[in-house]
Amino acid sequence: MKIHKEGRRILFFTLLALLAANLLLFRYNAENGGFNKVFAAISVIMFLILLQFFRSPARRLFTHEDLIIAPADGKVVVIENVQEPEYFNDERKQISIFMSPINVHITRNPISGIVRYFKYHPGNYLVAWHPKSSTKNERTTVVVESEAGPLVLFRQIAGAMARRIVWYVNEGDEVSQGEEFGFIKFGSRVDIFVPLDTEVKVQIGEKVKGGQTIIAQLKTPPPSLF
């Protein structure tokens, strides 16, 4: 199990702080040995929770040009037709995945293609399942022209705990399905917007794995024989 690069600095300084606090307690509060042991146990648990949050498990990625792969680990919380106001300005099918604090928080490209649009939006920190979090919270918007043809829009959305979104893509980049496009620290969600005729392959409440679970299939024209 590897540790993601976004967590190495945080983990290092957290470990130093916890070690310093425990050493100070054992040196200057030796008469309260019971309290010191409880604090040490809590310190270990806190560090392990933080450690698992930044884990980066090896994944055998699934790729196919007309399939949409889950961009993150989590649970499907929204499948509905909505008006997408930022880029398409028309009706699209939205699929949303909620990432709890215990999920891996790497975000992956759901499709291969060319990034045609990217924008970072500062914003609020409503709980990630709030209906307005998609348009009010801190977020990034990425639109990829897929190899199969249709445009696919996806967003990293900060939640009540998430206070930093990291991204690794820019307009004009060529991206590969399953590869990392960012990281959301401490819980959030990812929204995907696809054409209305896209066939959804998951259900509300279903748990998915980033880079592996097929969540939808784009409708593409049959190949020409001439």
- Tens digit of pLDDT for each residue in 131-162? 555 667 788 999 999 888 889 999 998 866 55
Q: 76 and 11: one domain?
A: no
15 and 121 housed in the same domain: no
- Domain membership flag for residue 182: yes
Highest mean pLDDT among 6-15, 114-123, 182-191: 114-123
27 with 79, same domain: the answer is no
Say yes or no to pLDDT of 60 above 80.
Answer: no
Identify the CATH number of the domain in which residue 128 sits.
Answer: 2.70.70.10
pTM of the complete model beyond 0.85: no
- Look at the chain and report how many structural domains it folds into: 2
Q: Are residues 116 and 207 in the same domain?
A: yes
Asked whether residue 143 falls in the same domain as residue 180, the answer is yes
199 and 93 share one domain: yes
Evaluate if residue 108 carries a pLDDT over 70.
yes
225 lies in some domain: no
Has residue 112 got a pLDDT over 70? yes
Q: Virtual CA dihedral for 223, 202, 117, 115, nearest 10 degrees?
A: -50
Report, in angstroms and rounded to the nearest whole number, the Rg of the chain calculated over CA atoms: 21
Which is more confidently placed, 74 or 163? 74
Identify whether residues 182 and 95 lie together within a single domain.
yes
Q: Which residues contact 49 (CB under 8 A, 6 or more apart)?
A: none
Residue 37, in any domain of the structure: yes
Query: Quick one: DSSP state of residue 215?
Result: E
Indicate if 52 and 122 belong to the same structural domain.
no
> 50 and 147: one domain?
no
Structure letter (DSSP) for residue 199:
E
Q: End of a domain among 56, 78, 95?
A: 56
- The pLDDT of residue 226: 47
Give the CA distances from residue 56 to residues 10, 107, 192, in Å, rounded to whole numbers and listed in that order. 15, 11, 22
| Domain containing residue 161 | 67-217
Residues 20 and 88 in one domain: no
Q: Return the active site residues.
A: 188
Q: Are residues 187 and 87 in the same domain?
A: yes
Residues in the chain: 226
Q: Residue holding tokens 């794995």?
A: 209
Q: Is 22 left (phi over 0), alpha (psi -120 to 50) or beta?
A: alpha
Question: Do 161 and 127 have their domain in common?
Answer: yes
